[in-house]
Structure 1
Amino acid sequence: MAEQQIRFDDGASYEQMMGIWSRSAGEIFLDWLAPPLGLRWIDIGCGNGAFTELLVERCSPAEVQGIDPSEEQLAFARTRPASRLAKFRQGDAMALPFADSSFDAAVMALVLVFVPDPAKGVSEMVRAVVPGGAVVTYMWDMAGGRSPLDPIHSEIQAMGIVPTRPPRMDASRMEALRDLWIGAGLEDVQTREITVNRTFANFDDFWTTNLKSPALRPTVATMTSGDVEMLISRVRARLPADADGRITYSARAHAIMGRRPK
């Protein structure tokens, strides 16, 4: 699979393509974490603020700092109601612009496989939280073929075409996440799987929505019109519509939490 940098620079398109998935998984993730109210959070790779919004809505945080490399995504995040509390700034997951022990909890939501050095990203999360602070993430099971885009990516690959994938897909495996958390010296490490469904009005809705992904659009753009038609036919057969023409399928995420030693 072709691994390269994938840039998410369109907050509105990301919201349509991934925001709904992110919110569905994020709700379950927060139910599982059950964090106390009033914490100071850092949301690393906050993107357009989809998960940040959940933190503000559900966790009554004392503070939320959202960090992302894309100023375009951050601009969208600043239009959300969460911006009444959350602050958004450009930054690097491997070099967080905050002092040691600045937060009670650090989270990456659907981000870790895009970090060039996941271990460095986790070590920065640990550094940023207080002793006893929470370090948490959830990531689509890309290595296991259960991400929201996998129904399309799998058919592209079956056609002998190499799809564009994130640079560190292996970090989506549960075993890899556990190794990263244990390797970072975190304690009380726990994991769980999160499975969520999404329904599209019809196949055209499914196709046009997913084609907004910068992980998919460049690959499809290089295909011949004949190959694109074949891909559409294969994906349509893979995801049959119900009696009303709707397309429903599931995706799976791996979640992990741990605490910085006191």
Structure 2
Amino acid sequence: MTREVWALGDAYEAYVGRWSLPVARLFLRWLDVPAGRRWLDVGCGTGALTAAVLAHAEPAEVVGVDPADGFLNSARGRVTDPRVSFESGDARALPFADDRFDVVVGGLALNFVPDPVRAVAESVRVASPGGVVAAYVWDYAEGMAMTRSFWDAATDLDPAVRELDEGRRFPLCRPEPLQALWTGGGLGGVEVRGLRIPTVFADFDDFWHPFLGGQGPAPGYTASLAEDHRRALRDLLRTRLPTKPDGTIPLTARAWAVRGTTQGVSPRATTWATAAR
């Protein structure tokens, strides 16, 4: 299996990071959390969801946590606000006290955590009674047209790479497993929703060049190829992608989002419920 890298913020942004902010906005609109809450962004990456929380949710505080120093450096450069801080940490062992946050979220990261059950348990632990725990992941199997097109072409050229396809590797990224994970974590009122955004590429180079950056499964696979194989993959994709007369390539991306509330009601949660009426 090719070595996966998730560390360089600029390369990640060119690959799929540029679509993170639009889907984060849809996610926050769905959560509809009142102002003045304490947020934790687990697996914050380059800070897209943290930035969206700051811009659209009027938080009292936002803490982003991620294990990749390169991502954290990008996040710190992206978001500079006294209400925001970023820390190094693992989703499976969050470096925070119990009941610390009103809202615990994670964007496009949970499927990469080796033990998602433990990660959800940790999110529940640091959430206040009656707080929200929510996350979203790309629908790699069907809804993420960019990577779906890539792996379909790659597999047609070499069936042996089928097992590298995120659609096969990440069965968690579907509604039923997400629902079961949240319910199994003891959360109540669990809901799952699809979030769809347009992903329009300016031309074929705009689509292809990010796959050469080495960040993530598909770019990592591309980097492992001999030049003639890489060229064959590029040319096959060029013939298959839906290209308009002006050269643009209009695709879409879907994420699956899940949310639930922790058991018990605190004074803060009661105030929240009253404000939301």
Q: TM-score range by the shorter chain?
A: over 0.9
Structure 1 residue 146, shift from structure 2 partner: 2.7
Aligned to 2:272: none
Residue from 94, 100, 106 that aligns with 1:102: 100
In the superposition, relative to structure 1, how do residues 72 and 165 fare at CA in structure 2: closer, same or farther (>3 Å)? farther
Aligned residues of 2:91 and 2:119 also touching (Cα < 8 A): yes
Distance in 2 between the 1:56 and 1:155 partners? Answer: 39
C-alpha distance 218-77 of structure 1, shift in aligned 2 (>3 A): same
Label 1:53 to 1:67 Cα distance change in 2 as closer, same or farther (>3 A).
Answer: same
Q: Tell me the CA shift for residue 50 of structure 1.
A: 1.1
> How many residues get paired?
260
2:89 to 88, 91, 111: 91
Aligned residue type for 1:112: L
Structure 1, 231-240 or 34-43: larger mean CA deviation: 231-240
1:14-33 aligned at under 5 Å gives the runs: 14-33=12-31
CA, structure 1 residues 220+210, in 2 after alignment: closer, same or farther (shift >3 Å)?
A: closer
Provide TM-score, normalisation by structure 1: 0.93
For residues 208-254 of structure 1, what are the alpha-carbon distances to aligned partners after superposition, in whole Å with 9 as ceiling and x for unaligned? 02332332222112223222222112211221311111111011110
Amino-acid identity (%): 38
Query: Which protein has the larger Cα radius of gyration, Structure 1 or Structure 2?
Result: 2
Moved more, 180-189 or 137-146: 137-146
For 1:242, which of 241, 244, 253 is the aligned residue? 244
The corresponding residue for 2:161 is 162
The alignment yields a C-alpha RMSD, in angstroms, of 1.8
Distance 1:88 1:43 in 2: 9
Contact kept, 8 Å, 2:243 with 2:250, in 1: the verdict is yes
Counterpart-to-counterpart distance in 1, 2:240 and 2:25: 28
Change in CA separation of 1:30 and 1:148 when aligned onto 2, cut-off 3 Å = farther
The residue that corresponds to 1:258 in the other structure is: 260
Structure-2 separation of matches of 1:259 and 1:151: 36
Q: Following the alignment from structure 1 to structure 2, what is the Cα–Cα distance between the partners of residues 117 and 143?
A: 20
Structure 2 residue 172 is matched with structure 1 residue 171: yes
Residue aligning to 2:193: 192
What is the match of residue 270 of structure 2?
A: none
Which residue of the other structure, out of 231, 234, 247, is the alignment partner of 1:232?
234
Greater per-residue helix proportion:
2
Q: Which moved more, 1:69-78 or 1:146-155?
A: 146-155
Structure 2 residue runs of 5 or longer lacking an equivalent are 265-277
Unaligned 5+ runs, structure 1: none
Query: CA offsets per residue over residues 102-137 of structure 1, 9 Å max, x none?
Result: 000100100111000111111111111011000001
The aligned residue for residue 140 of structure 1 is 138
Q: Secondary structure at the match of 2:245?
A: coil
